[in-house]
Amino acid sequence: MRTLYLIFCCFFAAHSLTSSTSTSPSSRPRCLHEQSSILLQFKREFPLKEPEDLLNDYDYPKMETWKAEKDCCSWDGIECDTTGHVIGLDLSNSSLEGPLHSNSSLFSLTHLENLNLAYNPKFSGRLSDSSASNLKSLNVLDLNSCNFSGIVPTSIGNLSQLTYLDLSSNNFSGEVPTSLGRLTKLEHLSLQKNRLIGRIPSWLGNLTGLTLLQLSHNNFNGEFPISLANLTQLDSLYLSFNQLVGSIPYEYANRISNSMLLSMLDLSHNSFNGTIPPSLFRIPSLVSLNLDYNQFTGPLTIQNVSSSQLTALYLRRNNLNGQIPASISELTSLTELYLSLNNFSGEIELGAFSNLISLDLSYNSLTITSTSTMFALAVNFYSLLLASCNIKEFPKFLETQNELWELDLSHNKLEGKIPKWFFRVGTESLARLDLSSNLITGWEQEPSILPWEALAYLDLRHNKFRGSLFVPPFSTVHFFIFNNSLTGNVDPIFCELHNLKVLDVSNNNLSGEIPRCLGSNSSLLMLNLQRNNFHGEIPPTCEERSVLKTLDLSHNQLQGKIPKSLVTCKELEVLNIGHNQISDRFPFWTQSLPKLQILVLRSNKFDGPIWHPREFSGFENLRMIDLSFNNFGGVLPSEYFRNWSAINTEIPYVNKSKLRYMGDTSNYYQDSVTVAYKGLDTVLVKILTTFMSIDLSHNSFHGAIPSSIGDLKSLVGLNLSGNNFGGSIPTSLGKLSELESLDLSKNNLSGKIPYELVSLTFLQHLNLSDNKLVGPIPHGKQFDTFENSSFGGNLDLCGFPLAKKCTESDDEQPNSDHGQDSESENGFGWKAALVGYGCGIVIGLVVEHVLVSRRPTWFSGIYRRISLTP
Ligand SMILES: *[C@@H]1O[C@H](CO)[C@@H](O)[C@H](O)[C@H]1NC(C)=O
Ligand SMILES: *[C@@H]1O[C@H](CO)[C@@H](O)[C@H](O)[C@H]1NC(C)=O
Ligand SMILES: *[C@@H]1O[C@H](CO)[C@@H](O)[C@H](O)[C@H]1NC(C)=O
Ligand SMILES: *[C@@H]1O[C@H](CO)[C@@H](O)[C@H](O)[C@H]1NC(C)=O
Ligand SMILES: *[C@@H]1O[C@H](CO)[C@@H](O)[C@H](O)[C@H]1NC(C)=O
Ligand SMILES: *[C@@H]1O[C@H](CO)[C@@H](O)[C@H](O)[C@H]1NC(C)=O
Ligand SMILES: *[C@@H]1O[C@H](CO)[C@@H](O)[C@H](O)[C@H]1NC(C)=O
Ligand SMILES: *[C@@H]1O[C@H](CO)[C@@H](O)[C@H](O)[C@H]1NC(C)=O
Ligand SMILES: *[C@@H]1O[C@H](CO)[C@@H](O)[C@H](O)[C@H]1NC(C)=O
Ligand SMILES: *[C@@H]1O[C@H](CO)[C@@H](O)[C@H](O)[C@H]1NC(C)=O
Ligand SMILES: *[C@@H]1O[C@H](CO)[C@@H](O)[C@H](O)[C@H]1NC(C)=O
């Protein structure tokens, strides 16, 4: 029997071998000539690609192999049926470029069943009704990550054989055509990342074969369609990042609560409200439930969940309150729980979460009770986020956590020294440690170098660290320890942290000289030593391949000159050496830093001219310059501001609404700088990339104000006060349509105030006091809101708001004694307790000076430039 079987096998194998060699030429489909010419025609519609034109490593231009002399059924990306018709065309990742026209020969391939053009991000065009409906046999249409635009054509509804339709990551707009409701064979429908609008169509409930429905990242609005409960085959439903409102109908939740197929439900980043239907937690097949970033309210009800397989539950940033139900531990498969940014309250014993590997309880009203040593947790956490949980002591159970990757204990009440055992927390695994905003004073056992081998991100800002600056592990990429009380020198070993990109030790009491080698650490993106007591000279900075973007040495006691080596910092965007004792001439070479946007030399001992006929040509990218409180002098020619391209360029309206801050794109740091703005020293905690200002105040400039100042179209703040500028106020100032703050006080300006200034409709702060101006104060628009203090101490101004009435002959009669003391009036200002104006507000300006508010327009001005981000 056994032999027989073997013989049979051998015979069968031999037979299939011979038959496959002998019959293959005939059974293998041969391409029909007509099909071949359609394909070659299609190939001609696109320019040939050189290998270096390929968009990325995945790309492979399959059409290169399409040669007339070969059978087209053997070409790359082509599949034929037995009759020699092309039924499959796969040109995904082929760097296709340019438009697909409606007359393209592609639409003549009427036997096509499978058309895959995905991942050709420069492949554009529109799908027209007539062309799309030619492909009646299509089963699969995949246009993922192309660049098609326009509406989704109605005729797609005529492709009645479609089972797989992916139009995601294109630029389709408008509503989803109703005709798609006829595609009852659809199993996979992905329309995410387009610009689709309207409600989520309720007829989607007709497509009962769907296993995946992906509609995320569009502009859908309206309520959750209950008809989706009819999609009983659904495995994954994604509706995230839309503008959906209302509650999740309990009826929907109840009907799907028996589903044995639905494993992924993502409704995050919408505006859903009401309570979360408890039956969502009972769906036996559900593995991941994401309701992050909505407005769900009320306590969380979790009951009868014994058959749940839920492993990941995301409920961040909602309005959930009450206690976290103990029954959450009945979700026995749960390994990831994210509850941050709600208002859960009560005491929490972490032992209740002993199944989890990721737990996020940050920013609620919770109190983590003393975490007894008894529970050396059976589980090893991977991510533990316990910010703002009223934690008073270092949780001892952490000691045995040796797989921890991420630990956030920030914004708690940890005080005193970090215990010795804490070094054992994830010594080999910890990559991100955040202990910021506590009351920590130091280490029980002062380390020479911190022991965590894998640490990349270390945040210790806003604590009470005293003593000397310890050295983070060599793996560190971001190190923040600003706003502490550290003293002593910076150890030169910092220069050997070759992964370090961001070093922020600002706001401490560090002293001594800045280690010379620090300037040549070629990994640094940002070096912030602001507000310490460093003295000595600025070390030579930037090696040849420097990536340094931000250098902030302000508010120290640095002396000497600015090192010329800085000219090699080709990536430098922010150079702030304000508030030191640098004695130098104006660094004309800063003009050759192609990316420089912010230059602050304020309050030093600079002198000499800032203009030179051969050395000065203008700043290409500069948008904020502060040279105030130095001894710069000389005359500025009328052309002085002509080539300041960045400030000269009007910012397109669209970019204005897209508020961006300076800093690294990962949001790990943001540049901040102090500017005199609207009469106050203001710390711009986050610098909007649209903020443009020039401050030359308190120097010794003389001559006329350059008329080219009117070219600075995007200027928001201009301060020339405390100089000896003479002549009249240039009428070109009236062209600065973005100007919010203008200070020309304490100069020798004479003549009348140009009426053109009335057209500065955003102007909120004006100071022309202490000059020799005469004549009537213009009125209308913003000028009707300024007070006496804006005009005091001039020779002979008249009219509102001053008491002196204008007469015909007024401007001819000098009269300097109308008694306005501008100094005393200058005391207005702002108490800007803006921080924490609700979670949603990102503060663009935090004002240092705490004064009493008098001028409500100030706020509106700020809000014009502050983002309200979710
Ligand atoms: C196509 O490119 C995308 C990214 O551009 C990549 O994720 C995908 O794996 C590539 N597909 C193939 C088949 O190479
Ligand atoms: C196809 O249409 C495009 C644009 O409408 C046109 O430029 C091109 O000549 C047409 N090609 C053929 C073969 O008709
Ligand atoms: C996508 O198409 C638009 C025109 O609809 C074009 O402006 C844009 O440059 C294209 N994008 C790419 C990456 O080719
Ligand atoms: C699509 O099908 C409908 C109804 O079957 C028909 O009336 C219409 O003409 C078709 N559209 C196209 C573009 O073929
Ligand atoms: C999307 O299409 C619109 C016009 O419909 C166009 O203005 C916009 O630039 C396109 N966006 C991209 C990213 O191609
Ligand atoms: C959905 O199905 C219902 C009933 O089967 C039918 O009346 C309706 O026309 C369908 N909707 C669409 C858009 O096809
Ligand atoms: C959903 O299915 C139920 C029963 O199968 C049917 O009565 C109802 O009309 C369907 N609803 C929608 C919106 O398709
Ligand atoms: C939910 O939001 C809608 C508006 O989108 C509102 O009409 C409704 O009252 C809200 N419901 C709850 C329970 O807050
Ligand atoms: C939970 O289960 C119990 C018993 O199995 C049952 O009495 C109760 O009604 C269920 N509760 C809910 C909300 O389904
Ligand atoms: C959070 O809940 C507490 C009670 O637990 C309540 O006093 C407080 O007002 C709530 N806060 C918010 C923002 O809802
Ligand atoms: C410094 O940290 C303390 C908390 O330690 C905080 O209250 C204060 O606002 C911080 N100061 C700055 C300037 O951030």
Is 70 exceeded by the pLDDT of residue 374?
no
Is 90 exceeded by the pLDDT of residue 580?
yes
Mean pLDDT of 14-18: 39
| Residue of minimum CA distance from atom 3 in ligand 7 | 230
Distance of CA 316 to the CA centre of its chain: 19
DSSP 408: E
DSSP string across 466-520:
EEE-PBPPTT-SEEE--SSEEEEPPPGGGGG-TT--EEE--SSEEEEEPPGGGGG
Predicted local distance difference test score (pLDDT) of residue 677: 57
- Residue 481 contacts residue 457 (beta carbons within 8 Å): no
How much distance in Å is there from the Cα of 156 to the middle of ligand 4? 10
pLDDT, greater one: 699 or 712: 699
Is 90 exceeded by the pLDDT of residue 132?
no
How much distance in Å is there from the Cα of 343 to the middle of ligand 10? 6
Flag the least confident range among 417-421, 647-651, 826-830: 826-830
| Residue of minimum CA distance from atom 1 in ligand 10 | 343
Predicted local distance difference test score (pLDDT) of residue 534: 97
Say whether 254 sits in a helix, a strand or coil. helix
Ligand number nearest to the C-alpha of 281: 9
Is 50 exceeded by the pLDDT of residue 493?
yes
Mean pLDDT of 466-482: 94
Report pLDDT digits (tens) over 424-439: 999 999 999 999 999 9
Pairing of strands 243-247, 358-360: unpaired
pLDDT, greater one: 6 or 66: 66
Is 90 exceeded by the pLDDT of residue 725?
yes
How much distance in Å is there from the Cα of 303 to the middle of ligand 9? 8
**Per-residue confidence band for 237, with pLDDT thresholds at 50, 70 and 90:** very high
**Per-residue confidence band for 68, with pLDDT thresholds at 50, 70 and 90:** confident
How much distance in Å is there from the Cα of 174 to the middle of ligand 5? 12
Is 70 exceeded by the pLDDT of residue 655?
no
User: Most distant CA pair in the chain: distance in Å?
Assistant: 130
Is 70 exceeded by the pLDDT of residue 375?
no
Is 60 exceeded by the pLDDT of residue 665?
no
| Residue of minimum CA distance from atom 4 in ligand 3 | 124
Mean pLDDT of 789-801: 88
Atom nearest to 130 CA in ligand 4: 13
Q: Which of 383, 429, 426, 432 shows the shortest CA–CA distance to 401?
A: 426
pLDDT, greater one: 378 or 531: 531
Ligand number nearest to the C-alpha of 145: 1
Ligand 9 within 6 A of 304 CB?
A: yes
Q: What is the dihedral of CA 105, 107, 109, 110, to 10 degrees?
A: -150
Predicted local distance difference test score (pLDDT) of residue 610: 93
User: For residue 51, what are its two tokens?
Assistant: 């290998």
Is 60 exceeded by the pLDDT of residue 690?
yes
H helices of 101-198, where?
129-132
Predicted local distance difference test score (pLDDT) of residue 853: 25
Predicted local distance difference test score (pLDDT) of residue 115: 96
Is 60 exceeded by the pLDDT of residue 449?
yes
N-to-C CA span, the chain:
75
Mean pLDDT of 211-230: 97
Q: Distance between CA 138 and CA 107 in Å, rounded?
A: 11
**Per-residue confidence band for 305, with pLDDT thresholds at 50, 70 and 90:** very high
**Per-residue confidence band for 668, with pLDDT thresholds at 50, 70 and 90:** low
**Per-residue confidence band for 310, with pLDDT thresholds at 50, 70 and 90:** very high
H helices of 702-856, where?
822-825
| Residue of minimum CA distance from atom 8 in ligand 1 | 58
Q: Distance between CA 580 and CA 603 in Å, rounded?
A: 7
Mean pLDDT of 56-66: 78
Report pLDDT digits (tens) over 502-544: 999 999 999 999 998 888 788 888 899 999 999 999 998 887 6
**Per-residue confidence band for 250, with pLDDT thresholds at 50, 70 and 90:** very high
Is 50 exceeded by the pLDDT of residue 267?
yes
Domains 30-199 and 547-559+570-826 share a fold: yes
Predicted local distance difference test score (pLDDT) of residue 854: 25
Residues above pLDDT 90, as percent of the chain: 58
**Tokens 């990306």 appear where?**
77
Q: Which of 691, 689, 688, 687 shows the shortest CA–CA distance to 671?
A: 687
Ligand 9 within 6 A of 307 CB?
A: no
Ligand 4 within 6 A of 133 CB?
A: yes
pLDDT, greater one: 724 or 259: 724
Domain 30-199 has CATH 3.90.226.10: no
Is 80 exceeded by the pLDDT of residue 680?
no
Mean pLDDT of 362-387: 79
Ligand number nearest to the C-alpha of 227: 7
Q: Which residues line ligand 11 (CB under 6 A)?
A: 462-463, 483
- Cα dihedral across residues 133, 138, 144, 146: positive or negative: negative
User: For residue 621, what are its two tokens?
Assistant: 């990218």
Q: Which residues line ligand 3 (CB under 6 A)?
A: 121-122, 124, 147, 149
Which of 304, 307, 308, 327 should be mutated for ligand 9, with most atoms under 8 A from CB? 304
DSSP 641: T
How much distance in Å is there from the Cα of 279 to the middle of ligand 9? 11
The CATH architecture to which 547-559+570-826 belongs is Alpha-Beta Horseshoe (3.80)
Pairing of strands 846-847, 680-684: antiparallel
pLDDT, greater one: 684 or 645: 645
Strand partners, 416: 440
| Residue of minimum CA distance from atom 1 in ligand 2 | 103
| Residue of minimum CA distance from atom 4 in ligand 9 | 304
Q: Is the peptide bond before 99 cis (omega within 30 degrees of 0)?
A: no
Predicted local distance difference test score (pLDDT) of residue 617: 83
DSSP 689: T
Is 80 exceeded by the pLDDT of residue 205?
yes
How much distance in Å is there from the Cα of 93 to the middle of ligand 2? 25
- Residue 659 contacts residue 722 (beta carbons within 8 Å): no
**Per-residue confidence band for 372, with pLDDT thresholds at 50, 70 and 90:** low
Which residue pairs, CB below 8 angstroms and at least 24 apart, start in 826-831?
Answer: 826/679, 826/767, 826/769, 826/789, 827/851, 828/679, 828/789, 828/854, 828/855, 829/679, 829/680, 829/853, 829/854, 830/680, 830/855, 830/858
Domain ranges of the chain: 30-199, 335-488, 547-559+570-826, 827-870
DSSP 829: B
pLDDT, greater one: 487 or 621: 487
| Residue of minimum CA distance from atom 5 in ligand 2 | 101
Atom nearest to 304 CA in ligand 9: 1
Q: What is the dihedral of CA 124, 128, 130, 134, to 10 degrees?
A: 40
- Residue 645 contacts residue 708 (beta carbons within 8 Å): no
| Residue of minimum CA distance from atom 11 in ligand 3 | 122
| Residue of minimum CA distance from atom 9 in ligand 2 | 103
Predicted local distance difference test score (pLDDT) of residue 252: 95
The CATH architecture to which 335-488 belongs is Alpha-Beta Horseshoe (3.80)
How much distance in Å is there from the Cα of 371 to the middle of ligand 11? 28
Report pLDDT digits (tens) over 549-575: 889 999 999 999 999 889 999 989 889
Q: Distance between CA 240 and CA 238 in Å, rounded?
A: 6
| Residue of minimum CA distance from atom 1 in ligand 8 | 246
Report pLDDT digits (tens) over 733-772: 999 988 989 999 999 999 999 999 988 888 889 999 999 9
CB contact set of 113 (below 8 Å; sequence gap of 6+): 87, 88, 137, 138, 139, 140, 161
Atom nearest to 229 CA in ligand 7: 1
Which of 158, 203, 210 should be mutated for ligand 6, with most atoms under 8 A from CB? 203
pLDDT, greater one: 441 or 60: 441
How much distance in Å is there from the Cα of 197 to the middle of ligand 5? 15
**Tokens 């970033």 appear where?**
293
- Residue 298 contacts residue 321 (beta carbons within 8 Å): yes
| Residue of minimum CA distance from atom 11 in ligand 10 | 343
Predicted local distance difference test score (pLDDT) of residue 542: 84
Q: State the Rg of the chain over Cα.
A: 34
Flag the least confident range among 238-247, 371-380, 595-604: 371-380
Q: How many CA atoms lie within 13 A of 831 on its CB side?
A: 5
Which of 57, 60, 92, 93 should be mutated for ligand 1, with most atoms under 8 A from CB? 93
| Residue of minimum CA distance from atom 12 in ligand 3 | 122
Q: Distance between CA 813 and CA 206 in Å, rounded?
A: 86
User: For residue 452, what are its two tokens?
Assistant: 């965590």
**Per-residue confidence band for 7, with pLDDT thresholds at 50, 70 and 90:** very low
